[in-house]
Amino acid sequence: MRLRRGALCAVLAACLTGCGGVDGGVRVEGPAVTSVPWTGPAYLTDWYGRAWQRPSEISPTRSIDLRRLTWRDWGSPRARATGVVVDTNCMAGCRDDPASYRARVVLSGLVKRGNVAFYSQMSLTPVHPPAPFWAEGYGESTYLDVPDA
């Protein structure tokens, strides 16, 4: 009985480990796969969930507006613009003319959704540093809303 169990275990072990071994493991040939640049339309969503292409004005967050935007490289992995950042949350105090500053805008993190893509990150850099206190946190990457898949 022990001999039968031993033989059965040996056969089962051979089946589970496969038929024969591969010397040296898996061998990969040819060049590495490269990423294909995005060629479809790219969008930026505003605070209200609406999609825009190359907007001249937009509210990307609840706290700020971007105005007088001039875009370069739209649709590339890093779209760049210059424009004016406006304090719409009244962090600098509410008045007739809200606080603002000139800034460089960089959008990145293209996320594909079907036949289109959306920028998922934004960073702002003041043209003449430093940024005002109410703009703290926008210099690093700010996550933008992207529609669900």
- Give the tens place of pLDDT for each residue, 26-76: 666 766 555 556 678 999 999 999 999 999 999 998 888 999 999 999 999
Asked if omega into 130 is within 30° of 0 (cis), the reply is: yes
Residue 4 lies in a domain: no
87 by Cβ neighbours in 10 Å (0-12 / 13-18 / 19+) ranks as: buried
Domains in the chain, number: 1
User: How many whole angstroms separate alpha carbon 59 and alpha carbon 50?
Assistant: 10
Residue-range definition of the domain harbouring residue 82:
42-143
Residue 25 lies in a domain: no
Residue 88 lies in a domain: yes
Residue 130 lies in a domain: yes
The whole-model pTM stands at: 0.71
Is 103:84 a contact under the CB 8 Å cutoff?
yes
Within 10 A of 14 (CB to CB), how many other CB atoms are there? 11
Alpha helices in 18-140 (DSSP H): none
Is 87:134 a contact under the CB 8 Å cutoff?
yes
pLDDT digits (tens, 9 = 90+) for 66-86: 999 999 999 999 999 999 999
